[in-house]
Structure 1
Amino acid sequence: MKLQRYAMLVLPLVLAACSTFSISNQWKDPNWPGPPASNVLVLGITKSDTTRRIFEDTFTQQLEAAGVRAVQSYTQIPSGGASAKLGDVIKSSGADAILATRVQRIEQKTTVTPSGPGWGGFYGWYGGAWASTPDVNQYDEVTLETTVWDARTQKVIWTVTTQSIGTSNIPKAVQQLASTLIPKLKSDGVIR
């Protein structure tokens, strides 16, 4: 009985620590002529400079490891989205595509796992009823939107929505997001 309670307490923590991103929606422009991008400007849309830098550095490193040239936007665009400068940055970077990610929403979710009372007559039921309070877990589900734009035409060529369990370990979460999206970008022919 104690082992079962321990497992029920630890399991949600283990699952949250191992959470990955799942793709829930995806669209690719069927009329986009290509070719797959070989140079990407990476934009992290967030009010936190630290989170932006972690996101852009991680995606740039992972894209380069996958054989695609990439540059972080924070090196040339200050916080706050100075869009007037963005066109100049895109031109000077030589980017074929712009990859931008933003938080679409954060929803607090609650799971309740009831555990029934034990059997074995009234005494077994009575003891089990006291010991069988339900497990209640609350967590944040984070939904991100990642969009790739054609730098020449300024049109969306690919967009995806992903979900994951919220975490305070931003570097690990961004690594997981990159590990989910970069292979998908390659297989969809968006990047080379």
Structure 2
Amino acid sequence: MPDTSMLRRSIATLACALLAACAAAPSPTNVTTWRDPGFSGPPFRKVFVVGLSAQSLVDQRGFENAMVATLQSAGVVAVPGWQFVPTDRVPDEATMRAAVARSGADSALLVRMSDVQTESTLAYSAGTVAQAGPNLYVGWYAPGVVSENYQAANIFTTLFDVATARPVWTYNPVTYSPLSLSQGVPAFANDVVGRLQADGLIATR
């Protein structure tokens, strides 16, 4: 029989990690991916999807529904976070802990969009990406010479293992313009699900 106190501690730690990830806003300019080399499976069987927009908590419902629909069409059991987490306020640790527990998911997929910001059309000088902790990265790409500016947002996607409250996979695609992102949610969802399947992280029914 599983140790319920240990499970509660893991969910509490996961809630803290999710909240910390929501607050973090690094800005990579190239596609970066990472998979925990120590994770050997089995694939996750139920995904708790949290899609956070920097613009509005209410906007997350449509994004989560699209991501869940894509996962389900691939034969993966998934639930949107909005069914368990209120969208009229920023959730605290206790709310996130209770939501993950109620969902019965064994993994949590956090998709966060950074604040819309001004970017340069010129290439950025490449840096390195190194894992610094359970949900953060350091060594983000340093900016190069500024030329013509445009509005852009970055997307940070992390899959957490509920049992250990640690990330097992991250995906940070290239910067999106807010308009192209709003129009390209289905393509982005398909991209994420395809990558999760290719890495053997999600199970199909």
TM-score by length of 1: 0.68
Q: Which residue of 1 aligns with 2:98?
A: 88
Q: Which runs of 4+ in 1 moved over 6 A?
A: none
Matched, 1:175 2:186: yes
Q: CA deviation at 1:107?
A: 4.3
Q: By how many angstroms is 1:74 displaced?
A: 0.9
Pick aligned residue for 1:36 from 40, 43, 58:
43
Which residue does the alignment assign to 1:75? Answer: 83
Root-mean-square deviation over aligned CA pairs: 2.4
Q: Percent identity?
A: 28
Asked if structure 2 preserves the Cα contact closer than 8 Å seen for 1:54 and 1:171, the reply is no
Distance apart, 1:159 and its partner CA: 0.8
Distance 2:160 2:63 in 1: 18
The normalised TM-score by structure 2 is 0.64
> Is 2:106 the partner of 1:99?
no
Deviation of 1:157 (Å): 0.6
Aligned pairs, number: 148
Aligned with 2:32 (options 25, 42, 62): 25
Give the CA deviation at 1:168.
2.9
Q: Does 1:166 align with 2:177?
A: yes
Asked whether the equivalents of residues 102 and 144 of structure 1 are also in contact (C-alpha less than 8 Å), the reply is: yes
- Alignment match of 2:158 (pick from 129, 147, 151): 147
8 Å contact from structure 1 (residues 141, 163) kept in 2: no
CA distance in 2 between partners of 1:143 and 1:171 (Å): 13
- Once residues 23 and 41 of structure 1 are traced to their aligned partners in structure 2, the CA distance between those partners, rounded to angstroms, is 27
2:30 & 2:159 partners in 1: Cα distance? 15
Query: 1:6 is matched with which residue?
Result: none
CA contact (8 A) 2:107 2:160 kept: yes
Give the structure with the higher percent strand: 1
Taking the aligned partners of 1:111 and 1:41, their CA distance within structure 2 comes to 36
The code of the aligned residue for 1:188 comes to: D
